[in-house]
A and B are shown apart, each in its own frame.
Chain A
Amino acid sequence: MTTPHASGASTPNTGARPHSTISFKDRAHDRLNDAKVQRAMRNFNLAGARARGVLDLENLEDIRTSAAAIRDRSLAMLDVWLERFEREATRRGVTVHWAESHDDINRITVEIAKANGVKKVIKSKSMVSEESHLNAAIEAAGMKVVETDLGEYIVQLAGETPSHIIAPAIHKNRDDVADLFHEHHKTPRNNDPAVLTMEARKFLREHFLSADMGITGGNFLIAETGSLVLVTNEGNGRMTTTMPRIHVAITGIEKVLGTMEDLSCILRLLTRSATGQSISNYITVNTGPKQAGDSDGPEQMHVIIVDAGRARLLGTDMQEALRCIRCGACMNHCPVYQNIGGHAYGWVYPGPIGSVLTPNYIGLEKALDLPHAATLCNQCGVVCPVKIPLPELMRKLREKQTERGLRPWQERTGLRLWSWLAQRPSLYGLATRVAARLGKSVGGAERTIHRLPGKGWTEGRDMPAPQGKTFRELYAERNRK
């Protein structure tokens, strides 16, 4: 099998170019004109699954409120909960590491691998490791790394990055996967998803049984017991934490929960919000390495707790974003995401939550378009299981851009001009009267304007021409009658 290369490729369709400026507009434009992405997005309906999945929770709103409160409680004393987690985990034989930056994640992971003579690493899903380009770092250190979530595996073979946090290869169709497997596995080409899934199982099973180290993310950390919680459907999370002799889990500081009661409450919403399931097939709670007498499990368990920009959100008007439990419901319900897919967002987290997290994690000035990549329709706010006010947070980020003078000069000048004009009612009335008359004559008999100056608005659609009189004129006329 050819060694698959992870993220970081540079062809237009491959997703992340972190830490350089993200041009959402250009990227979205490309996806809108990409027939394959458009076909894939039309097939995509996790929103429907979620709608059916929540039907059996009559008190859904009360459960959401409760889940949001659970997350807020963790965030309110995050350091104390983390310290409690660390103490319990350490008592159970876990080595706890702390990573301030993305570089720290890669350095710590590679150090653990080198210290243990690791040759092959298998990975269950970890979005945090996508933030740090961990696969590239492991390969650069001379080790082989294989993603084992089917979607992540496909994306890795293609040299791309995930386009959705729970359905990473949603932008690929069965023919793409058939080509990739044929090329990398040297097997006869077949595009039946059932056959392809079995083929992946067979190839990945060998890796599971021969890898020295398993890397996972972490859906939650439990302060009560020092446990790590993984939620999967495929069973790769269990495999990754059961078969190799070393387990390294990487997760953000915000993922800590108090007790198993907190976990039980949140899980009801996580899985329904993600895929509509009342529970995922596997919930794995790992507490320390193999114990005396155990026939399976790793000899070492490491947990890397990652800041990398997260603590910056605490105590600010962005803190609510840290409640996120990564279900993907906000993107599944976003009319913008549904049309362009995840790669347009340019970094690890797409959709509304990405539009909030990316500017906060990598810098507002590097993701200028993202807080604007939404219609503020609040579908995301309505479905978010932990009630993150996503449209509100995007609006606040827009304000911050304006306050910091980060908007383009045309927009700034235009708004300044408009504000000057809007404060002078008679002049404003005159200007709109002239514009309305002008618009009518440009519209002509068709009553349609085909082209406005500047790029964008009339490239793909016509604008109905004004019919000669402004609202204020019509209003004044009616009052005179």
Chain B
Amino acid sequence: MSARDRILGRIRAARGAGVSVTDAERATVENFIREKPRGVGPAMPWEIGPRFREQCIKMASTYDEVATRADVPEAVERYLREKALPLTAVAWPEIASLPWAGIKVEGRPARGDDLVGITGVHLAIAETGTLMFLSGAETYAATSLLPETHIAVVPASRIVASMEDAWAQTREEVSDLPRAVNFVSGPSRTADIEGVLQIGAHGPFRVHVIVVAG
């Protein structure tokens, strides 16, 4: 008998169930997973756009809005100049293909020494000011992780109310989850030395959100 069978056997014995899992038990679990009832959550009496903005700022992200996707390069350049950051970035291919002028943008995965990373998002969550990323061949996970500055381009149509809504929409759009789904809410932080909050632990020091209205 394997360790697996002994552990599962102990659990079954403890709850007074028979030796092997029954079809009825499996059906109970499968039905639950199919139905996916939601737990109790808070009331959400707010509007999605303003709430997302407010919560991004609460989580120490910075926030900007532009009218169209074509306005993104200018907004990025403005931000980088304002913060006196390098005008060189690595980005997801969908972002690298925008009409960049004042900034050098390479569409490749980030390395440990890249300073600015620009990504799109899969979805964003208004309740908590959260960006949701799916890893993939053209949506590199490391771009939002390794560089000190992370800029995310968020189409307004991709902002949903809650994490529950984000999962529901993801299931409609993606058959299997990718290797990594990352929820990012503001820059990385720690308070491990005397409880003093420090922004910028292992992940980015800065998260800049650019919402594209149209």
**A242 close to B39 (CB less than 8 A):** no
**A77 close to B25 (CB less than 8 A):** yes
Does residue B214 face the partner (Cβ distance < 8 Å to A)? Answer: no
User: Which residues from A are CB-within-8-Å of B177?
Assistant: 225, 227, 285, 287
**B26 close to A80 (CB less than 8 A):** yes
**B29 close to A258 (CB less than 8 A):** yes
**B192 close to A167 (CB less than 8 A):** yes
Report the minimum CB–CB distance from B214 to chain A (whole Å): 28
User: What interface size band does chain A fall in?
Assistant: 35 or more
- Chain A 169-189, CB within 8 Å of chain B: the 1/0 string? 110111001000000000000
Does residue A81 face the partner (Cβ distance < 8 Å to B)? Answer: yes
Does residue B213 face the partner (Cβ distance < 8 Å to A)? Answer: no
Stretch at the interface among A62-70, A340-348, A420-428, A440-448: A62-70
User: Which residues from A are CB-within-8-Å of B164?
Assistant: 260-261, 264-265
| Interface majority SS (helix, strand, loop, mixed), chain B | loop
Stretch at the interface among B11-19, B76-84, B95-103, B151-159: B11-19
Does residue B88 face the partner (Cβ distance < 8 Å to A)? Answer: no
**Which of B3, B128, B190 is the one whose CB lies under 8 Å from A150?**
B190
**Which of B25, B42, B179 is the one whose CB lies under 8 Å from A268?**
B42
User: What interface size band does chain B fall in?
Assistant: 35 or more
Q: In the assembly, what is the distance between CA of A294 and CA of B179, in Å?
A: 9
Does residue A418 face the partner (Cβ distance < 8 Å to B)? Answer: no
Report the minimum CB–CB distance from B41 to chain A (whole Å): 6
Does residue A17 face the partner (Cβ distance < 8 Å to B)? Answer: no
Report the minimum CB–CB distance from B39 to chain A (whole Å): 3
**A59 close to B43 (CB less than 8 A):** yes
**A265 close to B7 (CB less than 8 A):** no
Report the minimum CB–CB distance from A266 to chain B (whole Å): 8
Interface centre among B4, B128, B142, B194 (most CB of A within 10 A): B194
Please give me the residue from chain B that is nearest to A149 by CB atom. Answer: B192
User: Which residues from A are CB-within-8-Å of B11?
Assistant: 78-79, 82, 253, 311, 314
Give residues 135-153 of A contacting B (CB, 8 Å). Answer: 148-151
Stretch at the interface among A194-202, A370-378, A470-478: A194-202
**Which of A242, A266, A314 is the one whose CB lies under 8 Å from B142?**
A242
User: Which residues from A are CB-within-8-Å of B12?
Assistant: 79
Q: In the assembly, what is the distance between CA of A307 and CA of B117, in Å?
A: 41
**B29 close to A278 (CB less than 8 A):** no
Interface centre among B58, B145, B180 (most CB of A within 10 A): B180
Does residue B68 face the partner (Cβ distance < 8 Å to A)? Answer: no
User: Which residues from A are CB-within-8-Å of B41?
Assistant: 63, 264-265, 268
**A174 close to B193 (CB less than 8 A):** yes
Report the minimum CB–CB distance from A31 to chain B (whole Å): 18
- Chain B 1-36, CB within 8 Å of chain A: the 1/0 string? 011101110111011110001000110111011001
Q: In the assembly, what is the distance between CA of A99 and CA of B3, in Å?
A: 7
Interface centre among B2, B36, B109, B179 (most CB of A within 10 A): B179
Please give me the residue from chain A that is nearest to B180 by CB atom. Answer: A286
User: Which residues from B are CB-within-8-Å of A259?
Assistant: 32-33, 36
Q: Would A150 and B201 be within 8 Å (CB), given that A67-B39, A261-B164 are in contact?
A: yes
**B203 close to A235 (CB less than 8 A):** yes
Q: Would A59 and B140 be within 8 Å (CB), given that A154-B192, A204-B202, A264-B167 are in contact?
A: no
**B198 close to A193 (CB less than 8 A):** yes
**A234 close to B202 (CB less than 8 A):** yes
Does residue A116 face the partner (Cβ distance < 8 Å to B)? Answer: no
Report the minimum CB–CB distance from A42 to chain B (whole Å): 11
User: Which residues from B are CB-within-8-Å of A227?
Assistant: 177, 181
User: Which residues from A are CB-within-8-Å of B50?
Assistant: none
Does residue A58 face the partner (Cβ distance < 8 Å to B)? Answer: yes
**27 A-B contacts, Cβ less than 8 Å apart?**
A58-B42, A58-B43, A59-B40, A59-B43, A63-B42, A78-B15, A79-B12, A81-B29, A83-B21, A98-B2, A150-B193, A154-B193, A167-B191, A224-B33, A238-B202, A261-B164, A268-B42, A281-B184, A281-B185, A281-B203, A282-B182, A283-B182, A283-B183, A284-B182, A285-B183, A307-B10, A311-B7
By a beta-carbon cutoff of 8 Å, the part of chain B in contact with chain A is 2-4, 6-8, 10-12, 14-17, 21, 25-26, 28-30, 32-33, 36-43, 55, 58-59, 109, 112, 127-128, 130, 135-137, 140-142, 145, 162-164, 167, 176-196, 198, 200-204
- Nearest 5 pairs of A and B residues by beta carbon: A235-B203, A265-B39, A293-B137, A234-B201, A151-B192
By a beta-carbon cutoff of 8 Å, the part of chain A in contact with chain B is 40, 43-46, 56-59, 62-63, 65-67, 69-70, 73, 76-84, 92, 98-100, 104, 148-151, 154, 167-170, 172-174, 177, 193-194, 196-198, 200-201, 204-205, 208-209, 223-225, 227, 233-236, 238-239, 241-243, 253, 258-268, 275, 278-297, 305, 307, 311-312, 314-316
